[in-house]
Structure 1
Amino acid sequence: MTSTPAPEVLRAPLVVEFPFTRSLGPVQSAFLTGLRERTVLGVRTGDGQVLVPPVEYDPATAAELRELVEVGATGTVTTWAWNPAPRPYQPLATPFAWVLVRLDGADTALLHALDAPGPEAVRTGLRVRVRWAAERTGSITDIACFEPYEDGPREDEHDGGPERRAVPHSGEFDDPVTGIVAPARLEYSYSPGRAQTRYLAALTERRMTGERCPSCRKVYVPPRGACPTCGVATGEQVDCGPRGTVTTFCIVNIKARNLDIDVPYVYAHIALDGADLALHGRIGGIPYDQVRMGLRVEPVWAEGGRYPDHYRPTGEPDADYDTYKELL
């Protein structure tokens, strides 16, 4: 057992990013292909409402929707919020307004960016039009943004005049868009807290530490600051491992992006000596088809010694099943 003072709690920026690939049905395919051709399509519901962006099923009745209609590239702001500090990958690099725009002929509003000189230039009821992207590929970004547009007084259903209606559209285009790849990205600041800060600090010294529950006396690695079984706070630090036992494992046959590891390879749950919870680690130094439950392993530290890069066999006899069966 160790009683070293806790280091300053860590904090670091993290980014989770991956491409999301999806195929498109006939409605979404027509909508995105239409944007590529500078045409905005909606879909008509059974009660005559025109939904933009279009959906494949009626949100009120769940009935399948297929009747496509063309709406205008001009519309009216229904509500808005000013964005004074755009973040990376947002539609515009300069301050802009997020707006809901009901396009002429539509009964619902489309969310997008409005290029305006300042919040004083934006208001509910403002007339706007689409600014098309110079290069269009069949995505919502084919609408670069909206811009203010003064087209004179407009008569519609709100002032008693005739309503501008959408017109039927076949949805047929050459070379339709059938799928999209949408990048998903999340940036956030993460603090691991007191327990994991001490765990990470110990790793820099090539030590594995856990924390013992004062109630059930189980030792958890990595520590969580509280016992997941009893729900009470943990504080007593315990050195574990660094050797351990493979409890379960899986063979990975897909090469991960930016990971320089030949496939197939093995990831395993490893019960460190003295711990009551298995942690996750890659097994190396042995053919993938020789990894097995009960295999005794030890860490191989990454360059700089900040964390285990992978685990390799120790050469010891396999652990008896009864010694780790409760950790499966």
Structure 2
Amino acid sequence: MTAPSSPPDVLRAPLVVEFPFTRSLGPVQSAFLTGLREGVVLGVRTAGGAVVVPPVEYDPVTAEEIRDLVEVAATGTVTTWAWNPAPRPNQPLDTPFAWVLVTLDGADTAILHALDAPGPEAVRTGMRVRVRWAADRIGAITDIACFEPHDGVAPTGDAAGAVPHDGVFADAVTGIVAEARLDYTYSPGRAQTAYIGGLAERKTIGERCPSCHKVYVPPRGACPTCGVATTDRVEVGPAGTVTTFCIVNIKAKNLDIEVPYVYAHIALDGAGLALHGRIGGIPYDQVRMGLRVEPVWSDDGGHPDHYRPTGEPDADYDAYKELI
């Protein structure tokens, strides 16, 4: 079944979500990544004798701490695979390749990486492969550029075993920056497309539930209380009432706002749900529940930059207590 296409007037835009973070490494992961920099693949031996690659710090069966590092070979056997015909940015190879699970010689578990192969017909379970090392190695999993086909046979007997290793290297890698990124096309849907279009005209558009008659801003396309579709559009505001607020004392990266400042829940006139916005034009310690505010639009008109006091008397608590 094919999903129905969105109406042509619904907004769409590319969206990137990134969360790179810096983490420190324990002795096992430090030895593993430093070993890759030196062209050595390390695993760890569990109390039961199994060799785990990549190494872990705790036995996956018994949860005991394990530190018995061993060196395994840079050759191995493909245990399963999947063909990737269209590599995405920052993947190991920029030409079609196979994702493979490879059990390295001397290991009992498989490592996931890319296999450089001319096509899916050249890949099979049981094929022999070897590590292709990156030209410039820094102590990261990318020091293994990929795997490549290998004509050698699987070793047997003692030759197949892992060799003890002390895990000591000069200038050990002690931390890494772990990248996390998701690229996709986002559509806010019919209801929020209308809401965003209204903001471009300096209007705030909500939708009214036909059952409970609450007006939701931003609209969701359905009433979260009654579960019925909402299509009746209503312009609310522009003024509103501060229902509750918090004082922000930490300056956010790339946000050119001096601290402290106030973020508040604001119930726009006619809305059945409070939205949030920054309060300006008043000292932070004078912001209060019931304060009447109005939007100050950004230079491009696409959204309120902040809300400022209207000068009206504060709203009575009973007028907004259900919206806190």
Q: Same fold (TM over 0.5)?
A: yes
2:227 is aligned to 231
Contact 1:7-1:197 within 8 A present in 2 as well: no
1:3 is aligned to none
Question: Is the alpha carbon distance of 1:287 and 1:18 closer, same or farther for their aligned partners in structure 2, counting shifts above 3 Å?
Answer: farther
Q: 1:144 Cα shift?
A: 1.4
1:147 is aligned to 148
Farther-moved stretch of structure 1 (256-265 vs 298-307): 256-265
1:243 aligns with 2:272: no
Q: 1:186 Cα shift?
A: 0.8
1:281 aligns with 2:277: yes
Contact 1:77-1:99 within 8 A present in 2 as well: yes
TM-score, length-normalised on structure 1? 0.90
The secondary structure found in structure 1 opposite 2:63 is: coil
Q: Identical aligned pairs, as a percentage?
A: 80
Provide the aligned length of Structure 1 versus Structure 2.
318
User: Unaligned 5+ residue runs, structure 1?
Assistant: 1-5
Distance between the aligned counterparts of 2:82 and 2:221, measured in 1?
40
Contact 1:21-1:180 within 8 A present in 2 as well: yes
Q: 1:122 Cα shift?
A: 1.7
Q: 1:210 Cα shift?
A: 1.0
Question: Is the alpha carbon distance of 1:243 and 1:122 closer, same or farther for their aligned partners in structure 2, counting shifts above 3 Å?
Answer: same
Contact 2:105-2:155 within 8 A present in 1 as well: no
2:47 is aligned to 46
The residue identity in structure 2 corresponding to 1:113 is: A
Question: Is the alpha carbon distance of 1:261 and 1:135 closer, same or farther for their aligned partners in structure 2, counting shifts above 3 Å?
Answer: farther
The residue identity in structure 1 corresponding to 2:279 is: I
Distance between the aligned counterparts of 2:292 and 2:69, measured in 1?
63
Contact 2:128-2:151 within 8 A present in 1 as well: yes
The residue identity in structure 2 corresponding to 1:122 is: V
TM-score, length-normalised on structure 2? 0.91
Question: Is the alpha carbon distance of 1:264 and 1:89 closer, same or farther for their aligned partners in structure 2, counting shifts above 3 Å?
Answer: farther
Residues 107-146 of structure 1 correspond to what in structure 2 (within 5 A)? 107-146=108-147
The secondary structure found in structure 1 opposite 2:183 is: strand
Question: Is the alpha carbon distance of 1:252 and 1:134 closer, same or farther for their aligned partners in structure 2, counting shifts above 3 Å?
Answer: farther
Contact 1:7-1:198 within 8 A present in 2 as well: no
Question: Is the alpha carbon distance of 1:48 and 1:220 closer, same or farther for their aligned partners in structure 2, counting shifts above 3 Å?
Answer: same
The residue identity in structure 2 corresponding to 1:62 is: A
Q: 1:58 Cα shift?
A: 1.7
Q: 1:190 Cα shift?
A: 1.4
Question: Is the alpha carbon distance of 1:7 and 1:79 closer, same or farther for their aligned partners in structure 2, counting shifts above 3 Å?
Answer: closer
